[in-house]
Chain A
Amino acid sequence: SAVISQKPSRDICQRGTSLTIQCQVDSQVTMMFWYRQQPGQSLTLIATANQGSEATYESGFVIDKFPISRPNLTFSTLTVSNMSPEDSSIYLCSVEDWDVAGGPYEQYFGPGTRLTVT
């Protein structure tokens, strides 16, 4: 199973600033996902990041606000730009491991980055 680490684990930031979150996987993966979990809420997909192509954003999320990099098959970053208190959330990266039949076997999640914007 993939082991995922994220940096930072938590941060407190001032409004108007930006924070870049790093996600490192211990094996090569094709697809990486970034999710947001607002306080007391469920998880919502922000974007899907494939190596060598632009990230695909879900409705309600835009590249200017959440730019994503995917320089190789084991690493990705998510930047939360021009932050406001509404961006206070847990941000999680996720990867998938396929089974031999071609279906998703498991989606592994990183430990999350707990962001508070003041």
Chain B
Amino acid sequence: AQKVTQAQTEISVVEKEDVTLDCVYETRDTTYYLFWYKQPPSGELVFLIRRNSFDEQNEISGRYSWNFQKSTSSFNFTITASQVVDSAVYFCALTFSGGYNKLIFGAGTRLAVHP
């Protein structure tokens, strides 16, 4: 079965703190793709990153970084020096070969960054 678990329902931090959002996935496929999306209060889904199962390099984009570890089936997302504008719900998602690219979403983590 394919599954994405985001165990953190809500996280509250003060501005400038670093915060890590956890994502654990389950799949039997050897070829799969992991995504992170941001959903601000306005409701639209903003694509942040895609990672395929053959690329375990960590990625950094500005204040955002992602740590992909196949050994623990995790794809964690870290925001460095958080800002109020980072307040949103963040979703981790999985798609896999043979899944016709439909996304399986985790439950989401609501991040609140306070000034």
B105 interface contact, C-beta 8 A: yes
User: Quick check: B105 and A103 within 8 Å, CB to CB?
Assistant: no
The tally of residues in A whose CB lies under 8 Å from a CB in B reads 25
User: Quick check: A90 and B43 within 8 Å, CB to CB?
Assistant: yes
**8 Å CB contacts to A: which residues of B33-90?**
33, 35, 37, 43-45, 47, 50, 52
Given contacts A92-B45, A107-B35, A112-B43, contact A45 B50 (CB under 8 A): no
User: Quick check: B102 and A33 within 8 Å, CB to CB?
Assistant: yes
Given contacts A105-B50, A111-B44, contact A43 B103 (CB under 8 A): yes
Q: Which residues of B contact A (CB under 8 A)?
A: 31, 33, 35, 37, 43-45, 47, 50, 52, 91, 95, 100-108
Give Cα A112–Cα B108 distance, bound, in whole angstroms: 17
Closest chain A residue to B50 by CB distance? A106
| Chain B residues closer than 8 Å to A44, beta-carbon distance | 105
| Chain A residues closer than 8 Å to B102, beta-carbon distance | 33, 45, 48, 58
Q: Mark A39-57, 1 if CB is under 8 A from B, else 0.
A: 0011111001000000010
By Cβ-Cβ distance, the 6 closest A-B pairs, closest first, are A109-B45, A42-B105, A43-B105, A104-B101, A45-B102, A42-B107
Give which listed residue, A31, A103, A105, contacts B100 with CB less than 8 A.
Answer: A31
